[in-house]
A and B are shown apart, each in its own frame.
Chain A
Amino acid sequence: MSAKEGVEVKIREPLRTSDLDQSFPEEIMKHPGGEKLYLCYQCGSCAGGCPVGKITDSYRPRQIIRMALLGLRDEVLSRDSIWLCASCYTCQERCPQGVEIADLMLAIRNMAADKGYAPKAFVDQASALIENGRIVEISDLTERRRSTLGLPSIPPASIEAVRKIVAKTTFDKLLEKLRGK
């Protein structure tokens, strides 16, 4: 992930209207949390309070929202920086327009994942969920530590239920595709 990615678009070729995909913001707004995207007036309260923005130039929520509003579909969905939101929800609390920015970032990530973009860490954790019913594996060592402390063994998660659910939502197929990348 390039450290300077976030400032990359500052100087660039002029945008052509033919590059802009107006259906992109509309599509985002159909996702839960994305509904208020059009209300953004670019005040920057989100970026101002962002804890990640304070320690790196790579992530600016206002910039991602601006690009989304312009309809820069491929540029937004393929950016590494959409995965740098720590989901702390500070921006969402402070947005004077009530844009649900952290949830909106999740909606954008869903669309990116459909296009085959997702960080390995999330793909691995989601795969573990299908494998074990939990995203953190319970090892023999864990069980030994627990029994030393007098804790009961962990009630087994219903792996069968998880597998049926992900088959129905076709999440298993999505993960297969993402793992293949």
Chain B
Amino acid sequence: MSYALFLGCVVPAREPSYELSVRKVFRELGFNLIDLKGATCCAPIPVESLSFKTSLAIAAYNLCLAEEADLDLMTICNGCFQVLSRANLLLKRDEKLRTDANDVLVEVGKEFKGTRNVRDYLQVIYGDLGLEKIRGSVSKSLKGLEVATFYGCHILKPSSVLMFDDPERPHILDDLVDATGAKSIPYLHKMRCCGGLLRGISDDLARKLARDKLFNVSQTQVDCIVTVCPFCFLQLDLGQLEVSRRFNEPYKIPILHYPELLGLALGMTPDELGLHTHRIPTEPMLNKIG
């Protein structure tokens, strides 16, 4: 199974271990991920806030790259997933928006045709492979590990557009965590936003939201938080140092992206997955699984 891999901006630049684990885990699971030549930023909320028309055109440009490669696009960032899915849907169903976008795309020799789909990597693992196959691929069960899952917002909402999972009571990530042998543990306000998009707008509010998330998780004594989105990861990993300092609450909760957790369960070593690049040391949870 082949997909065009859409890297986005944050993952390759700031979270290389996440990209590494995606590449390794997907190869191990039998997927062929193709890098898209010339792909740009998806033009997310900061751009969309200033000019929807520009954001839609840039998203459409990237969708055209996948159409030309004759592949569905696989995202590894909630932001990219939401922007590109929404653009794809709007452009497919609204003729006026499509005509407007194509008027812009003429400038770069592209035309949006609406022949391809956008999928997030969790959908790909869950849908294409399924839980049984994941369980069958696990060579090192993570039994005994207790995990707080954190979906983030833009993989689920707006659900009318993304159609990913129940927007308020999702289960896909929890099921995928449980498939590694680890156990997903509920916690207070699990679905509440991390505040990532408020960074730079109001750092104070962004830190408060991250702090509440870390505080609520810390009450459960789980071994780590498993994230899907690079902004949530940034808020909770690097952000954890800021929060600990600012609120004088020394949190030490390891944060893992799901493919990093799955990589461990597939028998890959922490070094192979680049876990040493995280700001919050992952050793405490790694020692638990031996």
B1-59, CB < 8 A from A: 7, 9-10, 12-14, 16-17, 19-20, 23, 35-41, 43-54, 57-58
Assuming the A-B contacts A126-B46, A169-B57, are A89 and B36 also in contact, with contact meaning beta carbons closer than 8 angstroms in the complex?
no
| Contact A32/B90 with A56-B205, A155-B36 known, Cβ cut-off 8 Å | yes
For B191, give the chain A residue with the smallest CB separation: A90
Cβ of B97 within 8 Å of any chain A Cβ, yes or no, is: yes
CB distance from B19 to the nearest CB of A (A): 6
* A7 contacts B by Cβ under 8 Å: no
Contact digits for B216-249, partner A, Cβ 8 Å, 1 yes 0 no: 0000000000000000000000000000000000
The answer to whether A129 and B50 have CB atoms under 8 Å apart is: no
Partner-binding segment picked from B111-119, B152-160, B171-179, B250-258:
B152-160
B13 engages A52 (CB within 8 Å): no
Please tell me if the beta carbons of B47 and A164 are within 8 angstroms of each other in the complex.
Answer: no
A83-B201, A106-B49, A151-B20 are known contacts. Are A136 and B157 too (CB-CB below 8 A)? no
- Say yes or no: A155-B37 contact (C-beta < 8 A), given A113-B49, A123-B50: yes
Q: Is there an interface contact between A107 and B20, defined as CB atoms closer than 8 Å?
A: no
- Give the shortest distance, in Å, between A124 (CB) and chain B (any CB): 8
Selected contact of A169 from candidates B7, B40, B51, B199, CB within 8 Å: B51
A9 at the interface (CB under 8 A from B): no
The answer to whether residues A121 and B200 also contact, given A52-B205, A155-B39 and a CB cut-off of 8 A, is yes
Tell me if B50 and A138 are in contact (CB < 8 A).
Answer: no
Decide: A113 and B158 in contact? CB cutoff 8 A: no
Interface residues of B in 192-217 (CB under 8 A from A): 192-193, 195-202, 205, 208-209, 212
B197: chain A residues at CB < 8 Å are: 86-87
**Alpha-carbon gap, A32 to B86, bound state (A):** 11
Interface pick from A20-28, A67-75, A141-149: A141-149
Bound-complex Cα distance A165 to B110 (A): 11
Give B51-89 interface residues, CB cut-off 8 Å to A: 51-54, 57-58, 61
**Interchain Cβ contacts within 8 Å, total number:** 197
Asked, given contacts A86-B197, A118-B49, A151-B19, whether A167 binds B168 with beta carbons under 8 Å apart, the answer is no
Chain A positions 91 through 115: 1 when the CB is less than 8 Å from some CB of chain B, otherwise 0: 0110000001011001101100100
- Would you call B157 and A93 a contact (CB within 8 A)? yes
Measured between beta carbons, the chain B residues less than 8 angstroms from A175 are 50
Partner of B16, one of A51, A87, A110, A151: A151
CA distance A51 to B210 in the complex (A): 11
B143 CB to nearest chain A CB (Å): 28
Q: How far is the CA of A162 from the CA of B157 in the complex (A)?
A: 27
- Complex CA gap A129/B9 in Å reads 10
Given contact pairs A51-B192, A87-B153, A102 touches B46 in the complex (Cβ within 8 A): no
Closest 9 CB pairs of A and B: A121-B200, A89-B157, A88-B193, A158-B38, A171-B54, A122-B46, A136-B9, A134-B9, A109-B49
- List 20 other contacts, CB 8 Å, given A93-B158, A123-B50: A55-B208, A55-B212, A86-B198, A90-B191, A92-B157, A103-B158, A106-B52, A110-B51, A120-B200, A122-B46, A133-B40, A135-B47, A142-B12, A149-B16, A155-B7, A157-B38, A162-B40, A164-B107, A168-B103, A169-B57
Q: Which residues of B contact A (CB under 8 A)?
A: 7, 9-10, 12-14, 16-17, 19-20, 23, 35-41, 43-54, 57-58, 61, 90, 94, 97, 103-105, 107-108, 153-154, 157-159, 167-168, 191-193, 195-202, 205, 208-209, 212, 274, 277
Query: Mind listing 20 A-B residue pairs with CB under 8 Å?
Result: A32-B94, A86-B195, A87-B153, A90-B157, A93-B158, A100-B158, A109-B49, A110-B52, A122-B49, A124-B200, A129-B40, A129-B43, A133-B41, A142-B12, A142-B13, A151-B12, A151-B16, A155-B37, A157-B39, A174-B50
